[in-house]
Each structure stands twice: as C-alpha cells, then as structure tokens.
Chain A
C-alpha cells in the first residue's frame, strides 16, 4: 500500500524549476524527507498537501488526488513550516477554530483542541495569546492543530525546528508513538540527526530531484564527516558555552546576544549531551535549538557525483 504516490511530478515557478520529474511512493509508517534549504522540500510538501498545482505529473494522497479535493483533508493533518499564526488568538482558541473548520461541532471542538494541546504539553499555555509564545511553543501549537483529529496521515514540515532539546525528544517520541498506532507520517527536515531519530526510511531531495531513497544509516557516515553548526538560545548562554567547551567534539563556539553558535564534529554525541544537560538544568533553561547547517549540501554533491 502506498500513502503518497507521486508520478513524474514537476513544478515550475515561471522559468524557475522547483521540482523536476519526481516519481516516488511513500509507504505507510514514518518517512523522512531530507534535503538542504532550497532543495525543493517545501515545494514537494506544498504539492502533496494540495497548496500548489502540479505543472506536470500527478499526486495522489491516500489514494485520492489532492489538488482541488478538500474532502481529503479530513484524513490529513498538516504542520506547515512557516511561523505564521493569528497572533492575537490564544493557543486554545486557535486550535479550536481550526478543529471547527474540520467539521467538529462547537460543543466538541474545545475538548478536542484541549486534548491536542495536552499532547504537546501546552495545556498551561493554552489560554495565552500565541503572540506571546516562544518559538518552541509556536512549533508545538502548530503540531497540536495537525494531530487534533487523529488523522491517518500526518505531514510535518520541519516540525522540530526551534524546539528546545527536551521538547525535541518528546516530540520525536510523540511522532513515533503516532506511527506505532498505525498512522503514517511524512516529516521533512534539513537535519539528518532529526530524521534519523524518527525513522530509517528516507527520501533525499536536492535541486528539485529525489537523489536517494532508502535507509538513512547508509548516508549517516557520509554526513558525519562534515562539521555541524547549531544555534542555541539559552538564558545562561555563557555558562552553557563553558560547559560545552569540555565536549571534545565541539570545534568552535561563537557567543551572540542571548545565543551560542556551535560547530561540532560529532553531532550525535553533541545532541545527546545537550539533551542531558537540558534535562538536568545544570546550565539554565535552553529555549531554542536550531540547526543552521547546510552541510547536507556537501553530502548531496558527493551523492550526485557518485
């Protein structure tokens, strides 16, 4: 069975090609869409969520065409990449309104929204305006609106971007639990380690083409040869910098206002250590972790050449 079937899919923006003759089948379970910024991930995501019309080729999601077929959205939850909200609404009101748009009655919508916020650990902040949320909270409320109605297919566009390490780990657990319950998930990222934590099944995209499909572990060794750059926003950034200096994989640390930019040669070990430090709270609260990396680009160049 195929969850998403794409055949000879191309998308042009005027003279610019966003996606070029892509044919791929996404199986049930978790699939990671991996590619550097500008590789065509967003175009692919917009095409398979029916936001864009293919210039050529076809897209079928859960066996149905997606473009011009709003009924299919009853079965899909989508968490877009953009950090865009109705900032004056509270998280609970926003999720409730979107749940209502999916057909849930007014009487039930708030309960459904509340459970979704509970799932992403935002119950306490549900009554606050989204404009006052941190980046990580905004990511979580976006996730809440996507999972609220237990869709058969969850499409997540860079869902972990900006989350702190603990929330990142919990969100990964949530997505994995989701898949174990028989749902399917397509998750995009430009960070291999995020995808690797979720699934071994990946699609690699670069320059608007799928350059590889299959097991994530085969490219893992390649990517680890390249340093990894991470931006961390923390309340005690200097203390965090001192603690991380002891990490032997760290190549460089640059202090910015309220943030650190760290280059590490051992990203796996680095993320594990960072999560442990955040859990212990020994260096204060870590608000946001964002991969600045385009180091995948180097791997893609290698793959394309070979």
Chain B
C-alpha cells in the first residue's frame, strides 16, 4: 500500500451508483457465472464424457464406409437416422440432459454456499433472485454449449449424406428441444438446490429413480415426470423397430406436442418462481 494510495479513503465520496435493476443484475451475475461455469472441472469432465457418443458415431461411420455388413436388428438393417434417433432419445434425452440438470442445477447455489463465495454475491445491492436467475441462465447456456455441438457432430457422422438435407430441420428442432429439456431440468433442480440441504441426492433419486420407475408404471404417475413430456416432443427419435417396439409401446400414450410444451413451460416457470421466492427468504449458514 503506497503512501500515495492511502488517500483513497479520503477521496471525495463517490455517489454510490444506483443499484442495478433486476434484469441488469441478472445480466451481471450471468456474466460472472458463465466464465466460471464453462471452465469448471465439471464442464470439462462433461465435455470429455460427451466425446464418447462421438467416438461411437465415428465407429459407426467407419463400419458403414468400409462395406462391412451393416448393423441389423431382427434381420432388418438399422440406418444412420435410426441410430441417431436412438442416441438422441436414450443417451441424450434420457441420460445426459437429466445428468446435467442434476449436477449443475442443484449446484447453482449449493456450490457457492459450499465454497463460501455466496457472501460476495449476497452482500451486493442486487436481489438474491437475480443471483439465482443469472446463474440459472449461465447454466442453460453453458450446458447447451457442451451438449449441442456433440449432438451435431454425431448427427453429421451417423446420418448418411443423402439424408442430411431432409433431416436437417428436424435436427434443429431436436437441438432446440434438448436446450429446452436442459432448461426444464435445470429449473427443477435449481429449486431443489435452493431449498434442500442435500440437493444432489434428491436430484439423482428423482432423475434416475422416480422418473425411470414412473415411466414404467401404468396409469397417471408418469405425468409427474419431466421425461413424459419430453418424449411427446421427439416422437421421431423414440425407437419403433422390432427390438425396441416393446419398450416403445410403453410410450404410446404420449400427449400432444402442445400439451407437452405447456407442461414443460409450466414446470420451468413454477420451479424458478418458487426457487426465487425461497432464496430471498432462506438463510445460508456457512460452515466454519
């Protein structure tokens, strides 16, 4: 601290800047959080994991190009478009999206509390809900940046060149739906992370316990899952060939796309509103 710098405190008091508006604060938290999230160990790990389907797609492409007997199921050739659909549904929508939702969504606030950095955010002239929403938006962008390129690469590797043109619009729709899926799961698990002390366990139980079981149960229980509504948005990706027709039949009561969109949007908005309300009221006691 140089002597010349000491008068810092003696400078004429700068008029305190006005507190940023809610959305201005959201944008500032988003700025701060996005860089942290993108370069986090969690994101780097997920990016590596999402390299696996790309490797698989490369293998499929090599097999296809080498003239070796193509993949057949029950004597029927399985085309690249079908393989892409299977990967989209079973790998990305049923596994990757919930995993990202659980691990990032529950950590939005919990990580800041665990790292004890929440203090810096909560002692600024911004509403706590702006912190939550800004971090949530950073999550949506960060996870989309990780997942969507992986899907695009898989698409271009697996789908035959002649089918790319007709399927491209569908691909764009699928990318949008995946981002929407990430947003919905993220909102739900952000709520879990905001109100519960052990959010990760609860998130995992929901995504890989409850959702899996409920989807196999007859009746209305599946309506209390997110995946039930996601399936209605990607019917083309759900396998319908011989070997998986039994499993596909499980989903044959999928609601209309409009109904799915409505309920997913409802879950997203409701979860964020409740989480925003909870974070304003809740105390976060940092460990010593």
Q: Which residues of A contact B (CB under 8 A)?
A: 13, 42, 49-53, 68, 70-76, 78, 80, 82, 84-86, 88-89, 97-98, 100-105, 115-116, 118-121, 145, 147, 149-152, 167, 170-171, 173-174, 177-178, 180-183
Q: What are the residues of chain A within 8 A of B1 when measuring CB–CB?
A: 119-121, 167, 170-171, 173-174
Q: What residues of A have a CB within 8 angstroms of the CB of B9 in the complex?
A: 119, 147, 150, 174, 177-178, 180-181, 183
**What residues on A are CB-neighbors of B20 within 8 Å?**
101, 103
Q: How far is the CA of A177 from the CA of B18 in the complex (A)?
A: 26
- B115 interface contact, C-beta 8 A: yes
B197 at the interface (CB under 8 A from A): no
Counting chain A CB atoms within 10 Å of each CB, the highest count among B18, B119, B123, B126 belongs to B123
Hey, which bits of chain B sit against chain A, CB under 8 A? 1-2, 5-11, 13-14, 16-20, 25, 28-29, 31-32, 35-36, 39, 115-117, 119-128, 280-281, 283-286, 288
Give 7 closest A-B pairs by Cβ, nearest first: A178-B9, A84-B116, A103-B17, A119-B8, A170-B1, A121-B1, A181-B10
Instruction: Check A180 against B10 for contact (C-beta < 8 Å).
Output: yes
Chain B residue with the shortest CB-CB distance to A52: B283
Report whether B19 and A70 are in contact in the complex, using a CB–CB cutoff of 8 Å: yes
User: B131 CB to closest chain A CB, in angstroms?
Assistant: 9
Known: A53-B283, A150-B11, A181-B9. A97 touches B119 (CB 8 A): no
Contact check, B7 vs A177: say whether CB atoms are below 8 A apart.
yes
* B285 and A149 contact, CB distance less than 8 A: no
**Pair A70/B17 contact, Cβ less than 8 Å:** no
| Docked pose: A52 CA to B6 CA in angstroms | 33
Contact partners of B116 in chain A: CB under 8 A:
80, 82, 84
- Taken together as a complex, chains A and B put the C-alpha atoms of A180 and B10 apart, in Å, by 8
With a CB–CB cut-off of 8 A, which chain B residues contact A104?
Answer: 17
9 extra A-B contacts, CB within 8 A, seeds A74-B19, A103-B17: A52-B285, A68-B280, A73-B123, A74-B16, A86-B36, A118-B8, A119-B6, A181-B9, A182-B13
In the complex, A53→B28 CA distance in Å? 26
Partner among B115, B125, B284 whose Cβ is within 8 Å of the Cβ of A103: B125
In the assembled complex, which residues on chain A have CB atoms less than 8 Å from the CB atom of B120? 80, 98, 145
Note all chain B residues with C-beta closer than 8 A to A98. 120, 124
